[in-house]
Each structure stands twice: as C-alpha cells, then as structure tokens.
Amino acid sequence: MTESERASTGIEGFADGTRYQSARPGYPVEAVAYLVSHFHVGKTTKVVDVAEGTGLFTRELLPFTKYVVAVEPGRGMRDEFNLQLPGIEVLDGVAERLPLANASVDVLTVAQAFHWFDSQAALEEFTRVLVPGGGLALFWNERDESVEWVEALSRAILWDVKKPYDMATDFTAILERGGFVDVEKLTFKNAQLMDRLALHQRVLTTSYIALLDAPSQRKILDDVDRVIESFDESFDLPYVTTTYCARAPR
C-alpha cells in the first residue's frame, strides 16, 4: 500500500464504530501498568490518546489521570467514543496534524494505529506537541501466530496478501530515526474470549475486509469457519500485546 492508500483504508475501513467497539479486545492490565509506572502518570499528567478509535485504550487511562484528551479522524469512531466515554474530550484530527499547542502534552499514546501513519511526519508532530522529554507509548494487540490455528486464521482472512503492515515489524529504529530516545519494547500475553459469531465480528473489523462486498466477506467467513469447525462453543483467541515506550528529545 502507498501512504495515501494506507491512510484511506485506515479511516474508511473503520467507519463502523459500533462493531469495532463490540469486537475488538482490550489491553492487559500489566501493559497499562507498565506505561503508567514508566512515565509516572499521575492525576495532573496531561495525556493525549491519538487515533483512539472508540476509546478502548482511552478508558484504560482514566483511573490514573483526570487530564485525558483523545484525537480521532473517523466520524463513526468519534460518535461511538462519545457514547462510551461521555464527558471525555475527543478532537477531530490526524496524527500528522494534531489540533494541539506546542509542548502541551506530557504523555502521548497510540494504540493499534501507528502503522497507519506517515511515521516520520507523525513523529515530528509528536515532538512538537510533547513537552521536552515527554513520553510516547505505542501499543498493539497482535494475533499470536505461534499458535497453529491462529496462523491458519491469518491465512483465512488473507492477512498474508492484504496486510496493512507486517506484525513482525520492530518500530524501535523508526522511533529512533524520528528523534525519540530511551526506546523500550516489551510484550505481554493477552486473550479474547470468543464464540463463532464474535469471531466473525472481529474478522469484519479488519480494515480491508470491512471494505469488501458482501459475497467476498462471506467467502472469508466461510474459510474462518473451516479453521474453527472442531472448536467448542467458546474459545480464547490469543494475542501478543507489544508496547514501546520512548522519550521525546529534551
């Protein structure tokens, strides 16, 4: 995908905020605790959650600080965010042009979205809005393809040919090229309780699948059903949650 194609897919493919909210996994308590401890997040820490979607990660920040603002370009996502987290400010904006003042943010978070950005332009913008030495945290929930059936699931949903990014990507060098320092990468185990219908909904929130016509989506879901045909009614979908914490230039 080109940068423009990726950006368009990232917005258009996530137009259905209601489905996204109901189908996507949350984040491990340990991973959030790591972020909070690493950046000493407290009640007066000013945190901005960029490309926050429906607020799945934003809600994880609320017990720790009363200064949380979200930024999201998709109308459907913002509408669902307002339903889920009334009273929390959500601004219309993109990572490369944030509607925020210079040096106005202590910690900036991005969950499940950094791969959609023009990374260099976004990191320059993050540097602008963060205080000197401010914190940047990136999070991803990624299917654990070390599990045989999960690898088969990825093939069924055509991830190997349609993927918007490689789940094996190490973003450390990208962050360092953007001027960020003290980059730390950690991984955590995560899982999402599923049944067949829930897995269908999860698959349909995949950006490129959401943009397909109904017959093409049906074919993918049939392939997914073949992967899990021997499963019990309920089962866990395992993930690896990858986190990066880094500091803006001082």
Q: Say if residue 102 is exposed, middle or buried (CB neighbours under 10 Å; 0-12, 13-18, 19+).
A: exposed
Give the domain range for residue 81. Answer: 3-144+165-192+238-247
Count of structural domains within the chain: 1
pTM, to two decimals = 0.91
Pick the closest to residue 239 from 205, 196, 191, 180 (CA basis).
191
pLDDT (tens digit, 0 to 9) for every residue of the chain, 250 residues total?
445 454 455 456 577 889 999 999 999 999 999 999 999 999 999 999 999 999 999 999 999 999 999 999 999 999 999 999 999 999 999 999 999 999 999 999 999 999 999 999 999 999 999 999 999 999 999 999 999 999 999 999 999 999 888 888 999 999 999 999 999 999 999 999 999 999 999 999 999 999 999 999 999 999 999 999 999 999 999 999 999 999 999 8
Q: Radius of gyration (Cα) for the chain, nearest Å?
A: 18
Q: Answer whether residue 88 is part of any domain.
A: yes
Burial of 94 (0-12, 13-18, 19+ CB in 10 A): buried
The residue ranges of DSSP E strands in the chain, in sequence order, are 46-50, 67-71, 89-91, 105-111, 130-143, 181-194, 235-247
Note whether residue 57 is domain-resident: yes
Q: Which of 23, 77, 75 is nearest to 202 (CA)?
A: 23
Give the CATH number, domain containing residue 15.
Answer: 3.40.50.150
